[in-house]
Amino acid sequence: MDLLLVEKVLLSLFLAVVAAIAISKLRGKRFKLPPGPIPVPVFGNWLQVGDDLNHRNLTDLAKKFGDIFLLRMGQRNLVVVSSPELAKEVLQTQGVEFGSRTRNVVFDIFTGQGQDMVFTLYGEHWRKMRRIMTVPFFTNKVVQQQRAAWEEEVSLVVEEVKNTPEASTTGIVLRKRLELMMYNNMYRIMFNRRFESLDDPLFVKLRALNGERSRLAQSFEYNYGDFIPILRPFLRGYLKICEDVKNRRLQLFKDYFIDERVKKLGSTKAEGFKCAMDHILEAEKKGEISENNVLYIVENINVAAIGTTLWSTEWGLAELVNHPRVQKKLQHELDTVLGPGVQVTEPDLQKLPYLQAVVKEVLRLRMAIPLLVPHMNLNHAKLGGYDIPAESKVLVNAWWCANNPAHWKNPEEFRPERFLEEESKVEANGNDFRYLPFGVGRRSCPGIILALPVLAITLGRLAQNFELCPPPGQSKIDTTEKGGQFSLFILNHSTVVLKPRSF
């Protein structure tokens, strides 16, 4: 690093200390900020609380400071709410005030400064994008058009596993194959395309770039440059890699998928069936959205739809392996309601309350997005009697709302029965603020309409076709968690033994 840069950084640090002291004195007088650890100049609470602000660490802080607390992370304000009442306030009552998203230096790159839908501010652009995406992706018509494809994809997984001898003896890492299945489920909706196998070169490329994008965005590695802008020059290398991954990824979407649909739409031999991209391209043709917006819609679906549903399936599989009682009860329901060996399909789901309860319990205990996607208030706001400075990042600890023993009976237990007994009125759509796996209100997950049936069909088919067991010599599989900026997945992709069931 050159000397000039060091000098600049030191001078900026000094000025920042002076400014931070002055601002905090002024603030202290005028505002009633939420409680929290006492910040130090420049770094705020960052050195005290560290980088890994996962749902469990934030729960520990909530136990200390209360259901609403404030962390100063360098120059950024982070407000964390941890009760159903405050979640309701943020997501519903003051849904407009808190309906924006914070981005950060890395998300700015991956979303082209908010040209997408998931990370854009609450306003006209978001409304337009959400409207344009609804018909192609988020209606029951899409579910009815696509359900046969989802059923076909999972039956191919079942067949392949049955034809893999070691699956029933030493076991296999099923996750890899489930990932391909989830890509196929979503790429069939988006582009009417599927990948033949794990070795398909396009799938290999796509998976690698999406994996890189997730890793770079969810990492805590770049926090310092995001929290303390004067340290940003040190982040140059990291941001350059992000830029490069973004460009290669968007180019891949364009060259291999979008352009194909553009050509098909222009040709006289129309396919008859309209995939989601055809609707999106029509909106572009009408001038409602730009070519870039189209690219970022594809980017959003790759991130929001595939990973979340895959992680939840993987958690579901792990819980079924580790809870043979639940697995047997589920198999019994499937065998008796449908008939032994009759494969579960989407219309059957309403007749299968225990399967639905299993899905809900997986989403409660192992919430894929435990802090929701960060919200933000564009203007100064009030929350729980406190002042919330404009542009604060607001996290809702939805995982704690759904796992707090003050609200749930033995929440650490994986017990689907709770959703048929004491919590039988609780749905995943946000009808109860203790349970928000998909959020609720304006920025809630529109993909819930697809995610719930995909999860139920997948877990149902696996349970009805196989005894799901840990590998020989193990009584359970590892369920250590790994959290990111706002994601929660299983750390190790375990080997699972799948013994075909005979009827």
Binding site for ligand HEM (CB under 6 A): 91, 117-118, 130, 137, 300-301, 304-305, 308-309, 312, 368-369, 372-373, 437-439, 443-447, 450-451
Per-residue tokens: 243: 């830029």
Shortest distance, position 307 Cβ to ligand HEM, whole Å: 9
Measure the CA dihedral 265/297/212/369, to 10°. Answer: -140
Shortest distance, position 78 Cβ to ligand HEM, whole Å: 15
Shortest distance, position 52 Cβ to ligand HEM, whole Å: 20
Beta bridge partners of 498: 468
Q: Which residue has the tokens 């409207």?
A: 131
Shortest distance, position 91 Cβ to ligand HEM, whole Å: 6
Shortest distance, position 190 Cβ to ligand HEM, whole Å: 9
| CA pair distance 445, 138, nearest whole angstrom | 10
* C-alpha pair distances (Å), 19 with each of 14, 16, 41, 156, 228: 9, 5, 9, 62, 13
Nearer to ligand HEM, 331 or 487 (CB): 487
- The C-alpha angle 158, 164, 167, rounded to 5 degrees, equals 85
**Of 69, 74, 22, nearest in space to 48 by CA:** 74
Shortest distance, position 86 Cβ to ligand HEM, whole Å: 13
Shortest distance, position 282 Cβ to ligand HEM, whole Å: 19
Nearer to ligand HEM, 408 or 489 (CB): 489
Length of the chain: 503
| CA pair distance 30, 45, nearest whole angstrom | 21
445 carries a ligand binding annotation:
yes
Nearer to ligand HEM, 130 or 264 (CB): 130
Nearer to ligand HEM, 442 or 501 (CB): 442
Nearer to ligand HEM, 42 or 277 (CB): 277
| CA pair distance 227, 66, nearest whole angstrom | 24
Q: Which residue of this chain has its Cβ atom nearest to ligand HEM in the complex? A: 447
* C-alpha pair distances (Å), 283 with each of 5, 253, 348: 47, 18, 35
Cβ atoms of residues 97 and 371 within 8 Å: no
Nearer to ligand HEM, 297 or 469 (CB): 297
Per-residue tokens: 128: 């337009």
Nearer to ligand HEM, 188 or 249 (CB): 188
**Of 358, 324, 373, 344, nearest in space to 486 by CA:** 373
Q: Which residues are annotated as a binding site for heme?
A: 445
Q: Which residues are annotated as a binding site?
A: 445
